[in-house]
Structure 1
Amino acid sequence: MDLGFERILQVKIPVTDLQRSVNWYRRVFGLRLAWEFADPSGVTGAVLTDDAERFLIGLRRLDTVSGEPSLAGFDVVSLGVPSVDVLKELVERFDELGVEHDPLFDRGPGGGVQLDVPDPDGTVIRILSPFGEHAPFSGVEFGPDRAPTFYSTPRLQLD
């Protein structure tokens, strides 16, 4: 059923130090500050975007977010790039900037290649190359050595 959604427009990430995170996202991903949100306690949030405004990354001070979520080590968002060559260029850029990142990871048949970059709070920003041909469903199981194996029948019970 097509509900008319075109894309995910914004992802909002809780951060411990808003100023540090705004500067990091601007420097690492070349984003610009589009909006700030403030209350009497000061600036509590910001929205960053690319120059073409294709996507938005919202940052909120953790002390203003209910539930105090922790996303350290979790890939809350994936950004798409047009090719593996662009991923390789990003690795070079991150190395030049001294930005921590994982090595390129081949996700297997039809899964593309990924590059993970943790932000200052440890939240992982995943960058993906285009996916290749793949079946309508693919399961991936990671073994103790984190090596992926693939399966074709869902394990979840679908209604």
Structure 2
Amino acid sequence: MSIGIERILQVKIPVTDLRRSVAWYIRVLDLRLSWEFVEEGVVRGAVLTDEHERFLIGLRDRAVVSGQPEFPGFDLFSFGVAAVTVLEDLVRRFDDLDVEHGPLIDRGPGGGVQLDLPDPDGTVIRFLSPFGAHPPFAGVEFHADGPPSFYDTPRLTA
């Protein structure tokens, strides 16, 4: 049964320097500024989108966000790409722009390939290639001293 949700429309990211982050996202991800939000005479938020408006990235001045959350090193969301070759093209793009990024990482059986890109505040934007065939459930256990292991019985109960 579906409750009618079709997709995630927008992700909103708290940033320390709105102007810097807007410029970075536009330059690095080829987005365009589509909205600005002014509070008490100061621009405090912005929404960026791709040329076809398939998704929105909201950026919000962290100084006015309740709790002032920070996400350095954390991937809040992932962009899906059509193939590993797209990730390879992104690596070349980021290199040409002299933008820091992680390596291409093979996520193992059924997990696709990932590429991580930290934004100016260190929040990670993750790109994922299509996943291979996998069962309805897959668990991944990460280990400090080696590669992850996989399991097929959930440990959480819902």
Q: TM-score under structure 1 normalisation?
A: 0.97
Aligned residue runs from structure 1 range 11-30, under 5 A: 11-30=11-30
Residue ranges of structure 2 left out of the alignment (5+ in a row) = none
Shift of 1:39: 1.1
1:92 corresponds to 2:92: yes
Aligned length: 158
CA-atom RMSD in angstroms: 0.9
What is the CA deviation profile of residues 16-49 of structure 1, one whole-angstrom value per residue up to 9, with x for unaligned ones?
Answer: 0000000000010000000000011410000000
Greater displacement, 144-153 / 39-48: 144-153
Shift of 1:157: 2.1
Shift of 1:145: 3.3
Aligned to 2:38: 38
Aligned to 1:81: 81
Aligned to 1:101: 101
Aligned to 2:157: 157
- SS at 1:91 equivalent: helix
The percentage of aligned residue pairs carrying the same residue is 68
Aligned residue runs from structure 1 range 123-134, under 5 A: 123-134=123-134
- SS at 1:147 equivalent: strand
Divergent runs of 4+, >2 A = none
Partners of 2:124 and 2:96 lie apart in 1 by: 19
Residue ranges of structure 1 left out of the alignment (5+ in a row) = none
Shift of 1:116: 0.4
Q: TM-score under structure 2 normalisation?
A: 0.97
Partners of 2:51 and 2:119 lie apart in 1 by: 21
Aligned to 1:111: 111
Aligned to 1:65: 65
